[in-house]
Amino acid sequence: MIARVALALALVAAPMSASAWCRTTTSRTRGGVANECSMAGVPLSWRSRCTGYSLFRTGLPASLAWSELVTVGQASAAAWASATCDENGRERQYFEVRELAPTLNPSGWSTTGANSNTILFRSRWGDDSLHREGVIAITIVSYDSFTGEIFDGDIELNTYNDRTNQLGFEFSTTRLPGSDSVDLQTIIVHEMGHFHGLAHSTNDRAIMWPEAGRGEARRDLTFDDAAGICAAYPPAAAPVGVRCNPVPYGGLATLPGGTIVDGTGCSAAPGARSTGLAAGIFFALALVVKNSRRSGRRSSPVRGVNRD
């Protein structure tokens, strides 16, 4: 027990600059050096034992099957969940990310409504301040600016479209993508690192190295990545007496505008992508349960005006 506590303290107390890994903090100040790891502010992390992510039901590239996306999402979450924190490989970091029901709720955070941690393909890029050129994907992390608790994380993939986004990227699920395509799992594992609260690493072999991707695959965590996640979620610091509740704050939104349809569901084929009767039933169901509170729904930690 003492050894576990000592390990946890050592991981937490280790100065961030001593390792290549880095954590995102509440401070946005940065010096004049690229990849500088901020020592100011509170490091961001989720404050429960788990959370969930939802795959966006529409917008998949034609080359990608829904089942492939499901597999990649699960594998990416598992990569982080299985990170071990001791030399024997027995102690795992305590935080888990589970797959929840698919969603039509887009990125962003609602302070009073339902939410989803959404993974989506975006075939428009460069059209607003959040989607500037020069990235294959982004993770938008919403957090408590005083405590550093992460409320929400959304991953958006800059997807090629011959009409709307010619500067976007083609995503591949093979381990050896062509030079003009990107390994989807490499990108999602990396973005899930940001989702957990990690920043970029200066270790050029790490998953969290900011430059890697086209024409190569790096899907497996390095020691540096594991050290980073173990510092954020050390085994000995797992919340005691707290059960895993992966539902986002405000309930899981599965329709646009934060409407709740299913509070806990697991992955299913995206039937709502179809139109006609099925979609009609889906939306009718949404209206019926829109205002109902389901068990497992969590209230928003922030009081304020609904921004939707």
Chain residues binding other proteins by CB under 8 A are 24, 26, 28-35, 44, 106-111, 126, 128-146, 151, 179, 186-187, 190-191, 194, 199-200, 209-216, 302, 304, 307-308
Give me the phi and psi of 216, to 5 degrees please: -145, 160
**In the complex, minimum distance from the CB of residue 211 to other proteins, in angstroms, rounded to a whole number:** 5
Whole-number minimum distance, CB 169 to other proteins, in Å?
A: 9
Q: Which is nearer to other proteins, 83 or 114 (CB)?
A: 114
SS3 54: strand
CB of 297 to other proteins, least distance (A): 19
- Between 122 and 190, CB nearer to other proteins: 190
> How far is Cα 200 from Cα 211, in angstroms, rounded to an integer?
9
Task: Count the Cβ atoms, other than its own, within 10 Å of residue 122.
Answer: 22
CB 220: neighbour CB atoms within 10 A?
10
CB of 260 to other proteins, least distance (A): 16
Q: How far apart are CA 110 and CA 307, in angstroms?
A: 6
* Residue 128 CB contacts under 8 Å (≥ 6 apart), including other chains: none
CA–CA distance, 123 with 173 (Å, rounded to integer): 18
Q: What angle do CA 88, 92, 95 make, to 5 degrees?
A: 170
Token couple for 192: 């899930």
Say which residue the tokens 């790490």 belong to.
206
In the bound state with other proteins, the residue whose beta carbon lies nearer, of 186 and 267, is 186
Q: Which is nearer to other proteins, 31 or 276 (CB)?
A: 31
Q: Which amino acid is at 215?
A: G
Residue among 44 and 272 whose Cβ is closer to other proteins = 44
Q: Which one, of 141, 106, 105, 147, lies nearest residue 124 by Cα? A: 106
Q: Tell me how far, at minimum, the Cβ of 70 lies from other proteins, in Å.
A: 22
Quote the least distance from Cβ 136 to other proteins, whole Å: 5
Nearer to other proteins, 81 or 187 (CB): 187
Closest to other proteins by CB, 98 or 131: 131
Q: Report the half-sphere exposure of 270 (CA within 13 A, side-chain side).
A: 21
SS3 of residue 288 by DSSP: helix
If the CB atoms of residues 133 and 162 are measured against other proteins, the closer one turns out to be 133
- What is the DSSP secondary structure assignment for residue 256, as one 8-state letter? G
* Distance of closest approach, residue 47 Cβ to other proteins, in angstroms: 15
Q: Which DSSP string corresponds to 69-116?
A: HHHHHHHHHHHHHT-B-STTS-PBPS-EEEE---B---SS--SSS-B-
Min dist CB 262 to other proteins, Å, is: 20
What is the DSSP track for 55-68? EBSS---TT--HHH
Residue pair 107/140 in contact (Cβ under 8 Å)? The answer is yes
